[in-house]
Amino acid sequence: MTDNFKAALLMMGSLALLSFNDTAIKLVAATIPLAQVIVLRNAVTSTALAFVLARTRGAFKIARRDWTLIFLRGVGEAGAAYFYLEALVHMPFANLVAILQSAPFVVTLAAALFLGESVGWRRISAILVGFVGVLLILRPGTDGFDIYSIYVLISVLFITLRDLTTRRLSPEVSSMSVTFITSTMVMLTYMVIGLGTPWVPMPGWTIWLTLAAAALVLTSYVSIIRAMRIGEISFVSPFRYTSLLFALVLGLVVFGEWPEPLTLVGAAIVVASGLFMLYREHKLGVTPDTPEELPEVSTRP
């Protein structure tokens, strides 16, 4: 088994774990306030990371410039998590994930505008075609379009902030430290959001699903890091689109959801455009200036 094949399996596995995490959150949030669920999930995640970091020498020896970037990255992650999770609870799972696949398009455009990265006409064309696919999924003006469709787009903007700041982090910054700070910022954000909502007793199955969600997020992140370290980025990156397949299957099996034909067409256009953009980046030798330990392949908050 080649390193690239192992990395591809790890990438697909990590995205499957994220999809199961989203499914668990969506199920629990139907009974328990979302803020309560996320505070508990991230409390478990941050605690586990804190134990790891306690044994890591110099984990928080970070330059002032990087602290600023980490804070901005945390703001991006917290904002993305809020709008993504609110949409997750209220709209079909596959539709949500399909729209989220537009995040690399927005990140590429923002990198060209704010970081001076070169983007040729072919990739610009792919991005524009991808946005047409997003419009087919959203279909503004129809009955299926609501405020939560806008929430996903806002989440994409926050993901863009997260990924642009990630690109500017110094290579020596520990990925575990950044993950701990980000997870804690998301937890604190939801503690503030939930101030006006009283906590409720949790049935046993909701506690187990919340703990499972925390374990799934941590395992997924470790798998992504491992995948990016042992495989070539140009080979591994296209496998991120398997998340849409997992969302389709879980949406159908768990929630009885299946997208309308136009939604599927739009999703296919978004995926095709994203794959073409990755092909062009590989052909041109374009690689984002991102620390190896902090991959941006997963666009999920």
Quick one: tokens of 211?
A: 């703990």
Average pLDDT over residues 198-224: 93
Let me know if residue 299 belongs to a domain.
no
Query: What's the CA gap between 257 and 114, in Å, rounded?
Result: 39
Let me know if residue 291 belongs to a domain.
no
Confidence of residue 281 (pLDDT cuts 50, 70, 90): confident
Share of the chain above pLDDT 70, in %: 93
Type of residue at 203: P
Query: What's the CA gap between 142 and 127, in Å, rounded?
Result: 24
The CA-CA-CA angle for residues 63, 68, 71, to 5°, reads 120
- Terminal-to-terminal C-alpha distance of the chain: 31
Let me know if residue 39 belongs to a domain.
yes
CA-nearest of 234, 222, 295, 250 to 14 is: 222
Spatial CB neighbours of 229, under 8 Å, sequence gap ≥ 6 = 292, 293
User: Distance of CA 215 to CAs 45, 211, 248, Å?
Assistant: 7, 6, 22
Confidence of residue 121 (pLDDT cuts 50, 70, 90): confident
Let me know if residue 210 belongs to a domain.
yes
Let me know if residue 163 belongs to a domain.
yes
Confidence of residue 292 (pLDDT cuts 50, 70, 90): very low
Model pLDDT, residue 297: 45
Type of residue at 135: L
Determine if the pTM surpasses 0.85.
Answer: yes
Query: What's the CA gap between 128 and 222, in Å, rounded?
Result: 33
Let me know if residue 206 belongs to a domain.
yes
Q: How do residues 18-32 score in pLDDT, each as one tens digit?
A: 999 999 999 999 999
Let me know if residue 168 belongs to a domain.
yes
The residue with greater pLDDT, 68 or 118, is 68
Query: What's the CA gap between 146 and 137, in Å, rounded?
Result: 12
Query: Is the confidence at residue 286, as pLDDT, over 70?
Result: no
Query: What's the CA gap between 228 and 226, in Å, rounded?
Result: 6
Let me know if residue 106 belongs to a domain.
yes
Per the structure, the complete domain to which residue 106 belongs is given by 3-284
CA-nearest of 298, 32, 268 to 163 is: 298
Check: CB of residue 84 under 8 Å from CB of residue 241: no
